[in-house]
Structure 1
Amino acid sequence: MSSTFGQHYKYIDSAKVMGPAKYAADIKRNPETRLVEIKKYIPGIALDIRYATTNNFTNHRMYPQARAFARLPVVLALKDVQDELKAKGLGLKIYDGYRPYSITEKFYEIAADTNFVADPRKGSKHNRGCAIDLSLIDLKTGKELDMPTGFDSFSRKAAANYPDLTPLQIANRELLKGVMQAHGFKVIATEWWHYDFNGWAKYPLLDIPFSTI
């Protein structure tokens, strides 16, 4: 699908979204806030970047590459999470990280349910490089732990505190919640897999293609 990186947008004042040129100038001043590739900092982390495939709610390939990025402080916190989980024989699987703003517009046009897709008039924490979609895996088998739903389910069972689940699903969900919260993340109410990094509000919305990061 085509992109509108750094151009005008349908739902928001373009001045509120940082394109490639402004981003380059911003991280020159503040290199500690730059977007980095998660795999380069956490080589053992598993990736399942659904939006680089057709296996997602849009049924379209939304990303040109199966890569995951986030702001440097977010990735360093994730590294601490991964290290803690490793002692339990577990690890993280990443479904999505930084998401260009223009993709958020497309998501909204496909499924305008703001319980599950971000309102483009406000933008997403993913657009700020401060949100991560993830799950837990068993390091020995590489298999995902039993969770309430699959990724990107629009079901009520996806809610972070939905009660009518098996004891194992609740235990796994709460294990993920506990370790993420301990390292500066907060789950959102409607999606057990989506975690926002504390302090996200200080980071601007971005529309930067993966190829320029």
Structure 2
Amino acid sequence: MRRIRTAPRAPLAAAAALLVLAAAPVPAAQAASGRGHEPKAPEEFVALHDVAPTIRQDIRYFTRHNFVGERIDGYRRPMCLVTRDTGRALARAQRSLLRRGYTLKVYDCYRPQRAVDHFVRWAKDLDDQRMKREFYPRVAKNRLFEDGYIAEKSGHSRGSTVDITVAELPARPTRPYHPGEPLVPCYAPQEERFPDNSVDTGTGFDCFDTLAHTDDPRITGKQRANRLLLKRTLEHEGFSNLPEEWWHFTHEPETFSDTYFDFPVSPRSLTPQH
């Protein structure tokens, strides 16, 4: 469920404010560094691999294995960019899990606004349902906005939010996705879903279904224990979970609480560190 659930879980009054913020000038660090050049990330952004190199990365929006079915705009490289505070907190959580025989694995981190715009265009195209069977088999596509799965702003664009899971060590490699292969619902038993080397949490990543709600009472036993392992480990390091998505966590306080960036996911977007 890539409930591209907009930014913070705020009341309607705050939601209106988001549209105003979107039109506000961005910091100079994000401004284009010359006519025709791409925007750059503020110096507070880092590549997660440079801060926590043992965290696995499975950046789904760089691939065609996502609810859209194609690589998403703005993902130039399969890498995780986050604010420095978020990266350090993830590194602490990783050290805790490594001692228990687990590792973190990220599916998505910073997400440029152009990627969110890509999601919105896709959601409005009701004829494109190529990935429905896996990612939203029980949700009508014309309800994706109303049900909160798609929105015009995402907290991911502020740099302190990640989509993340846990894998047991040693984490086995997974086979690549082959476009056009038969799809299986994201809430099917783990052995039937697309293979993922993460622990079983009851649904796959980006599952547009109420079973993906972190505390859904139908998720019990080992699946529930795995969700709680992830949640409690990250909460200990200052993250909060979005209740509708077991994989979605935001480090608080956010470094940029009201700015939505649009620099590409690429090493070239980062400010060189001296």
Normalized against structure 1, the TM-score is what? 0.83
Q: 1:98-129 deviations in whole A, cap 9, x for unaligned? A: 00011112212223436223x22xx2210000
Q: Unaligned 5+ residue runs, structure 2?
A: 1-18, 34-38, 124-143, 173-196
Shift of 1:22: 7.0
Task: Give secondary structure in 1 for the equivalent of 2:86.
Answer: helix
Q: Taking structure 1 as reference, are residues 38 and 93 closer, same or farther at Cα in structure 2, changes over 3 Å only? A: same
- How much does 1:148 deviate? 1.8
- Write the distance in 2 (CA, Å) between the matches of 1:36 and 1:21: 18
Q: Counterpart amino acid of 2:115? A: I
Whether 1:175 aligns to 2:175 is: no
1:113-159 CA distance string (max 9 Å, x none): 36223x22xx2210000100010001223431111210000011101
Is 197-206 or 72-81 further displaced after alignment? Answer: 197-206
Check the 8 A contact 1:46/1:92 in 2, yes or no.
yes
Report if aligned partners of 2:76, 2:264 keep a CA contact under 8 Å in 1: no
Q: Higher relative CO (CA 8 A, sep ≥ 6), structure 1 or 2?
A: 2
The 5-angstrom pairing of residues 17-166 of structure 1 reads: 17=26, 20-21=30-31, 27=42, 31=43, 34-62=44-72, 63-111=75-123, 112-113=144-145, 115-117=148-150, 119-120=151-152, 123-142=153-172, 143-166=197-220
Task: Report how far residue 16 of structure 1 moved.
Answer: 5.3
Structure 1 runs not aligned, ≥5 long:
1-10
The C-alpha deviation readout for 1:48-103, integer Å capped at 9, x for no partner, is 10000000001010122111110000000000000000010001010000000111
Partner of 1:6: none
Aligned-residue identity in percent: 31
Q: TM-score, normalised by structure 2?
A: 0.66
Higher strand share: 1
More helix, by proportion: 1
Bigger radius of gyration: 2
Q: What is the aligned-residue RMSD (CA, Å)?
A: 2.3
What is the aligned residue count?
195
